[in-house]
Amino acid sequence: MKFVTVVGARPQFIKASILSNFFKDSGIVDEITIHTGQHYDDNMSSVFFETLNIPKPKYFLGISNMSHGQMTGQMLLEIEKILMFEKPSLIIVYGDTNSTLAGALAASKLGIKICHIEAGLRSFNNLMPEEINRKITDHLSDLLFSHYLGSVNNLKNEGITKNVFISGDIMKDACLHYAKDNINRSEILSKYKLEQNNYVICTIHRQENTDDLNTLKFLINNLNELSKEIKIVFPIHPRTKKIIRENNILLSSKIIEIDPIDYFDAMRLIKSSKIVLTDSGGLQKEAFYLGKQCITLRTETEWIELVEHGYNILFNRYSQISLLDLYRERCKLEVLDFDLYGDGNCGKMIFDNIIHFVQDEE
């Protein structure tokens, strides 16, 4: 069986590595990987291939630094050519990036079956490019894996009911399996003179936070204030860095600004932190898997179960409380071991279902 996997952005490398291992071990799947090039810096891309031992992509498209439409269009063109040549029985796409959408569009126009992993997530905010990407991808997909019942209900509300499975979250597999074995090898704490619980980790990259200067300044002002109370480690996304520099937005000297980090350093930083501050979907869940409270720097989240269970809370310009006060409140709360988003064996479940699906189709 030949499958094509499309990846392009940081979290997709992590997610795809889980299934790639199953494919490799099965002896019956020839997996061809296309890397669109959406994320291309060494510390945003190749470091993940090295540390997670992911097979080198057969195709690297080098498509980045463009408007959303142009990026998606270029990817569509190139992926179509590859699919016509490779003739796979299935294409696998992850999440909600422009690479996800381009892969799904290219396959759908050639009648190639599409598997979407992380299906049914919704923020109900159509201004987010990710919301458009995930909706269209779900509607084009033939086999859909959702992390939780809520996502299945979102799909049902849009009329998508066929071949929808609750698999749990594939990032939980990565977090539990990889982190367990490798987290202690990370030297990031000593590198930045950090100790258990004496810092918070913060990431910001969402377009709605970075491209609206008022929002970005509001968040940075709140971080500056919080940094008087606790160290903040800020692995900074290239988009965010560029905008902060171009607009002379001042970060407190108590904020430790560092380059993007590899997966194990990220897991180490989360696990030893006091609390996680982020607008990333991945970090919200990883905070929970590693037993940390999270403050999500957005007006909404797709991972609402974490909010409902009290492990995550939103902070944004409409909050009635400062980040510092919210941090003080949330620090008092614990994350209990609650069984959400699967048991860390999502990859096997997805693998088995993909194989059955393809065998039935052939």
Q: Which residues are catalytic?
A: 205
Cα separations (Å) of 320 from 223, 311, 317, 332? Answer: 16, 19, 8, 19
The rounded distance, in Å, linking the Cα atoms of 56 and 63 is 17
Least distance from C-beta 97 to ligand UD1, angstroms?
3
Give yes or no for residue 142 binding ligand UD1 (CB under 6 A): no
Q: How many CB atoms lie within 10 A of CB 211?
A: 11
Closest CA to 276 of 264, 287, 267: 287
The rounded distance, in Å, linking the Cα atoms of 189 and 122 is 35
Cα separations (Å) of 65 from 41, 62, 69? Answer: 12, 10, 11
Give yes or no for residue 203 binding ligand UD1 (CB under 6 A): no
Nearer to ligand UD1, 5 or 227 (CB): 5
Q: What is the 3-state secondary structure (H, E, C) of 220-234?
A: HHHHHHHCCCCEEEE
Sequence letter at residue 108: S
Least distance from C-beta 219 to ligand UD1, angstroms?
15
Least distance from C-beta 132 to ligand UD1, angstroms?
9
Question: What residue has token string 């992390």?
Answer: 147
Give yes or no for residue 40 binding ligand UD1 (CB under 6 A): yes
Give yes or no for residue 137 binding ligand UD1 (CB under 6 A): no
Least distance from C-beta 206 to ligand UD1, angstroms?
7
Give yes or no for residue 271 binding ligand UD1 (CB under 6 A): no
Per-residue contact string for residues 93-112; x = within reach of ligand UD1 by CB under 6 A? ---xxx--------------
Least distance from C-beta 282 to ligand UD1, angstroms?
7
Q: Is 299 exposed, middle or buried (0-12, 13-18, 19+ CB in 10 A)?
A: middle
Window 51-90: residues binding ligand UD1 (CB under 6 A): 64-65
Distance, C-alpha 79 to centroid of its chain: 22
Give yes or no for residue 9 binding ligand UD1 (CB under 6 A): yes
State the number of binding residues for ligand UD1 (CB under 6 A).
19
Of 1, 22, 41, 163, which one interacts with ligand UD1 (CB under 6 A)? Answer: 41
Window 233-262: residues binding ligand UD1 (CB under 6 A): 238-239
Binding site for ligand UD1 (CB under 6 A): 9-11, 38-41, 44-45, 64-65, 96-98, 129-130, 205, 238-239
